[in-house]
Amino acid sequence: KETILSALRTAKTYARESKDNANWGVYISTENVVLFQGDSYTTRDPSYDLYYSISSKVSLYGSTEFVFNTPFGSPTSTGTIGLAINNKSDSILVNEKSVLP
């Protein structure tokens, strides 16, 4: 969970700071979390990708991609990332105002 939160907060910060004058986002898969530059994971510039590993024991559900707009760091979409490990569930909420554990 902390890895995903960190990546989301970094993407939001980069967008607010207008780093490289671009939008920043996070894509979450079953193997890793990718911090990327661009309007979507599909159209991103892969040379800016930063990968963070996550445990294969974590099950994910819900939203898997968030992009934060420059210069305010607002997300292009909102949603919840659900996580489950060892029969325990948790979630991360991304909305217009913040990223909440």
Strand order in the sheet with 59-62: 59-62, 79-85, 88-94, 99-100
- pLDDT the model gives residue 101: 53
- pLDDT the model gives residue 96: 86
So what CATH class is 2-100? alpha beta
- pLDDT the model gives residue 39: 97
Q: Which residue has the higher pLDDT, 7 or 101?
A: 7
- Residue tagged 């990332």 (tokens): 81
32-62 per-position pLDDT tens digit? 999 999 999 999 999 999 999 998 889 999 9
